[in-house]
Amino acid sequence: MKIAAAIILYHPDKSCLANIHTYYNYVQKLYVFDNTETGNNFRDELQSLTKIEYYQDGVNMGLSKRLNEACSLAITDGFDWLLTMDQDSSFSEGDFIKYLGCANQCTAMDTVAMFGLAYERDNSGPSPTCRYEENIRLITSGSLLNLQTFKKIGSFDEALFIDLVDHDYCIRVIAAGYKTIQYNNILLLHNLGNTVYNASIKSLFLVKKKKVIHSPVRYYYMVRNTFYLIKKFENQNLPHVGQLRADLNTRLKIAFFYSRNIWQIWKYVRLGYNDYKQNNMGQIDDMQNAGPGR
């Protein structure tokens, strides 16, 4: 496997450098796309790494466009696979080597469009064996993207900007007859949102629970892009598309029960649905609290 990697940054802190070093030595090139509008305190340190190609144009272009740019560069440079990473994602020591070993053991690699990882270990715990399943909804971070398949499937949907970029691609992969394989014996260290420990009205505010809450702008993208994808695939008879609405409902219920910012979230939920109806896609005008990925 000839592997490059790509990472998309947005106002990164120094932890992103440590995260990069958990896989940097095992890829042949790293494309860094910095969506930060102005400056980056770690630019010089990043550019000092010899395998890095660093790109910054002062514009936050989101995830999908930068992923397409990374894939185009990697294809031009002759790579077969592209590891796609978020700035807050990393591997425990030895896990990336294990990941590559499992992928290399795949006997039908030409049928696999993406390899991916669990970001919480399954109940059976760590294992030296390559324990895997076909998962139709891999997240972008930590995925190994088959670039030959990418050329057949087509680009990431740039209308989405952020959120559900990965789900859209997986839906198209499965519809085209390819597989998306998740290894459950390897953990991706990944931050999905802000973890809170709050009580809700369901327990009369007596019982606290740990829940993941996102910024209001993230809920905007979740709502707008979910309805966009349901509409996009409505005539293709893909049963797993219906799960998108169920997942959105679950996330919104958690937000409204456990967030302490309900009215602001509701404002962006309504805006997201209205923009979907008006086909206002791409980047939201109000970028307060928004980021480039999950």
What is the torsional sign of CA 40, 41, 42, 43? positive
Is pLDDT larger for residue 266 or for residue 40?
Answer: 266
State the pTM of this model: 0.90
CA 205 to chain centre: 33
What is the maximal distance between C-alpha atoms in the chain? 59
Burial of 122 (0-12, 13-18, 19+ CB in 10 A): middle
Residue-range domain boundaries for the chain: 3-189, 194-277
- Please tell me whether residue 248 adopts helix, strand or coil conformation: helix
Which amino acid would we find at residue 150?
A: F
Closest by alpha carbon to 88, among 26, 13, 143? 13
Lowest mean per-residue pLDDT among 121-135, 178-192, 267-281: 121-135
Q: What is the DSSP letter of 190?
A: -
Closest by alpha carbon to 162, among 266, 31, 67? 67
Please report the pLDDT score of residue 288 as a whole number.
Answer: 43
Asked if 258 contacts 213 with a C-beta cutoff of 8 angstroms, the reply is: yes
105-120 pLDDT, tens digit each: 998 899 999 999 987 6
What is the mean predicted confidence (pLDDT) over 201-210? 63
The CA distance from 4 to 27, in Å, is 5
pLDDT of 236 above 90:
no
Round the average pLDDT of the chain to a whole number and report it.
88
Paired tokens of 120: 């919480």
- Does the 3-189 domain belong in CATH 3.90.550.10? yes
At residue 7, what are phi and psi to the nearest 5 degrees?
-135, 140
pLDDT of 125 above 80:
no
Lowest mean per-residue pLDDT among 38-42, 43-47, 106-110, 177-181: 38-42
What is the mean predicted confidence (pLDDT) over 138-153? 96
Please report the pLDDT score of residue 291 as a whole number.
Answer: 44
Please report the pLDDT score of residue 238 as a whole number.
Answer: 81
176-202 pLDDT, tens digit each: 999 999 999 899 998 766 766 666 666
